[in-house]
Amino acid sequence: MEYNKAIYNHIEHLWKASELSKRRFSINHNIEESTLRDILKKKNYQISLPTIYKICESRNITPSEFFIEVEKFSKIKARK
């Protein structure tokens, strides 16, 4: 599994499911809008652990729960 790609796909799914603008999603998740744009481009961007922690904090989940979600989402997406 390409973990960066799986993480980016999951974050993209969270953004689309939220039905928020990129700006509002970024504000709600305590990340820069430019960071979200870079994640959505999925090109050679290395998401930082602090960014993942910010997303987790805003969603009231632990990093381990986040990674479990990523893994589950990537398996569901692979089946489609």
Half-sphere exposure of 33 (CA within 13 A, CB side): 7
Asked if residue 33 lies in contact with residue 26, where contact means CB atoms within 8 angstroms, the answer is yes
pLDDT tens digits, 7-42: 999 999 999 999 999 999 999 999 999 999 999 997
Global model pTM greater than 0.75:
yes
Query: Which residue, among 39, 46, 47, has the nearest Cα to 15 in the 3D structure?
Result: 39
**Which residue type occupies 13?**
H
Half-sphere exposure of 51 (CA within 13 A, CB side): 17
What percentage of the chain carries pLDDT values higher than 70?
94
Q: What is the mean pLDDT of residues 56-73?
A: 95
